[in-house]
Amino acid sequence: MPGQEQDQKKQLAAREALDIIADISSILNTHLSRKQLAACVSLIQRGVNPEALANLIKELRHNYPDEPTSEA
């Protein structure tokens, strides 16, 4: 089915893009999980200002430095 094959290609491309983003994130020591990175990418794709999102993450880390991160 052409539609199903196209969906699989899109999913593979998205997974590969997230792999690259995760690698860059690791190099930059952002300490964001893949799940957190995926959420950030989704928000940015929906029109959230990336700089505002980065500032929010910094502020949350400053105000809640000891909060455990959850992968659940």
User: Please, which pLDDT band fits residue 2 given cuts at 50, 70 and 90?
Assistant: confident
Task: Annotate 34-55 with DSSP letters as a single string.
Answer: HHHHHHHHHHHHTT--HHHHHH
CA gap 14, 3 in Å, rounded:
17
Q: Using alpha carbons, select from 14, 24, 69, 5 the residue that is nearest to residue 45.
A: 14
Q: Above 70 in pLDDT, residue 68?
A: no
CB 69 within 8 A of CB 33: yes
**pLDDT per residue over 55-65, tens digit each?**
999 999 999 98
Q: Residue 66's pLDDT band (boundaries 50, 70, 90)?
A: confident
